[in-house]
Chain A
């Protein structure tokens, strides 16, 4: 028996797909973006107020309030996991940040002597550089998120628990801790650095809301990490075929722990930003936001089965949800319809994707 040895190499059956049939244009993210653009046009004609500077700023600020957490959750979703604890995490990180800030700004509290002292006239005076209290409090908030992320990652990657169950438990644990820590009352960031926090979270730069600027920076960073580092490559590989990743020497456990940590940190940062805008960290803050976050990621094209997703999709999903909410408000539709509509859109987005892959 012989084997054909010198059959010429020809690429007859594997020509490169046309540009509109591959990459962004053939992805769910692509046509959801298209749907978003159409929606914006429709809204513009329906309401002259929609594309005014004030309303655009409003929309940009509002979607930024869930989009940073959505970026983090997208990492987890790409590996085929899920994180239901992001809403609770937002609240808990914000609360820790706020409580630490208040404590460090109150003379007499443990550790506060490093940061403030009482002047002769009874006023509290900053002992150090302005902003130091804020920096320490934010680090404490993010440190809390880091620990929660590590626990989530450990349970999923090392103990092999299901991500759904682990993070469902964590949703409850972290929310409970937030109630315990503040005795159910929530917390208000106080002290000399509170104004810096407000400026950094609800201020703007050249008319761009601060949260939006953070979002853009983080999204660009995420794009680089996902597509141009081996860590990002491994995140996709684990979502595509975890066993294969393992067999080819990818450090699956480390990567999985890392994505849960990234997700928790993003949620923590998001919570701190929301807290700065609200001026407080109520114990019920961001309740059920995990659903908005996951919905936005899925609408934007992240696949819950793993292997697909990215920062653009995450943002487009968040924008779409916010534009719809905004539109319903402008159209004076009963705001209770919003939730119903969001559900319909989630199913539609996934349905269109299914139809498209059937036709392709």
Chain B
């Protein structure tokens, strides 16, 4: 699927502008300062690993970008334009998709129904519009195929493995022309084989020019797929390094605070 050209940017540009730019993002919850002065850029087709201890502010950052709540400070630009989201739907409308930590799947529905939940395909029958089951099943099968996942559209999510569920949640992000996909802890609760599947899925997104922000506690996962790693600690960004310029040891030190910044 083609990635829509960023406004005012020539397609052949060798160094495209970032899809997402954060400048001085801060967030307070009452007296709690969850985020402070975070600057971040993500480019098309780039996978950024976001790491940090519990409470470092990773989920808060994701939720701000996803439109779950507005930042207290700072500005956000998406595809070069200043944006302000009031609701998750606003973020989705410009091309930001989120795979939530709990995947946000309805167990009692089929894979296809979940992929299309909230944006069902319909056919007109006179004044009525009814669900187009065939089209949704066909498109889902196509998406699962693209993601190389062994998931069938008519299977119930309840009966699926962790990896298949992940595929359903990720397939959902492929419906629209998403330009940034953020994943909160996608590999936290699944088996080793399934982790490989998910990392494979992230590669597929990257190949299609989609920027991916991967939040993970698992060092091997981040080092397997990310181009760049960003370390958060106590609400601040402490490091932002290309994977080749750092090591799991350094990142661990940054996460725990043994090393202040890099």
Chain A: residues with CB nearer than 8 A to chain B?
A: 1-7, 9-14, 16, 224, 227-230, 233-234, 236-237, 239-241, 243-245, 247-250, 307-308
| Contact status A243-B150, CB under 8 Å | no
| Contact status A245-B131, CB under 8 Å | no
| Contact status A237-B109, CB under 8 Å | yes
- Which of A9, A240, A249 contacts B108 (CB under 8 A)? A240
| Contact status A3-B200, CB under 8 Å | yes
CB of A259 to closest CB in B, whole Å: 16
CB contacts (< 8 Å) of A6 on chain B: these are: 148
Taken residue by residue from 13 to 49, chain B's Cβ proximity to chain A (1 for < 8 Å, 0 otherwise) reads as 0000000000000000000000000000000000000
| Contact status B107-A243, CB under 8 Å | no
CB of A14 to closest CB in B, whole Å: 6
User: In the complex, what residue of chain A is closest to B158 when comparing beta carbons?
Assistant: A240
| Contact status A4-B196, CB under 8 Å | yes
Chain B: residues with CB nearer than 8 A to chain A?
A: 88-89, 92, 98, 100, 102-109, 113, 117-120, 122, 128-131, 133, 145, 148-152, 154-155, 160-161, 164, 172, 196, 199-200, 203, 220, 223-225
CB of B150 to closest CB in A, whole Å: 5
Question: How far is B200's CA from A243's CA once the two chains are assembled, in angstroms?
Answer: 28
- Which of B105, B109, B133, B145 contacts A9 (CB under 8 A)? B145
CB contacts (< 8 Å) of A3 on chain B: these are: 196, 199-200, 203, 224-225
| Contact status B150-A248, CB under 8 Å | no
14 intermolecular pairs with C-beta atoms under 8 Å apart: A3-B203, A4-B196, A7-B148, A11-B152, A14-B152, A14-B155, A228-B130, A230-B120, A233-B117, A233-B120, A241-B104, A244-B105, A247-B98, A249-B89
| Contact status A230-B148, CB under 8 Å | no
| Contact status A244-B104, CB under 8 Å | yes
Query: Can you add 18 more A-B contacts, CB < 8 Å, to A230-B131, A247-B88?
Result: A2-B224, A3-B196, A5-B203, A7-B200, A9-B145, A12-B150, A228-B133, A229-B128, A233-B120, A237-B109, A239-B108, A240-B108, A243-B102, A245-B106, A245-B118, A247-B98, A249-B92, A307-B108
CB of A1 to closest CB in B, whole Å: 4
- Which of B107, B151, B220 contacts A1 (CB under 8 A)? B220
Question: How far is B129's CA from A229's CA once the two chains are assembled, in angstroms?
Answer: 7
Question: How far is B109's CA from A241's CA once the two chains are assembled, in angstroms?
Answer: 10
| Contact status A1-B117, CB under 8 Å | no
CB contacts (< 8 Å) of B119 on chain A: these are: 249
Question: How far is B164's CA from A247's CA once the two chains are assembled, in angstroms?
Answer: 20
- Which of A7, A229, A237, A241 contacts B130 (CB under 8 A)? A229
Question: How far is B188's CA from A312's CA once the two chains are assembled, in angstroms?
Answer: 41
| Contact status B122-A236, CB under 8 Å | no
CB of B116 to closest CB in A, whole Å: 8
Interface centre among B100, B109, B172, B220 (most CB of A within 10 A): B109
User: In the complex, what residue of chain B is closest to A4 when comparing beta carbons?
Assistant: B196
CB contacts (< 8 Å) of A1 on chain B: these are: 220, 223-224
CB contacts (< 8 Å) of B223 on chain A: these are: 1
User: In the complex, what residue of chain A is closest to B98 when comparing beta carbons?
Assistant: A247
Q: Please give me the 10 A-B residue pairs with the lowest Cβ-Cβ distance, nearest first.
A: A240-B106, A249-B118, A307-B108, A244-B104, A240-B108, A248-B118, A230-B120, A1-B224, A228-B130, A237-B106
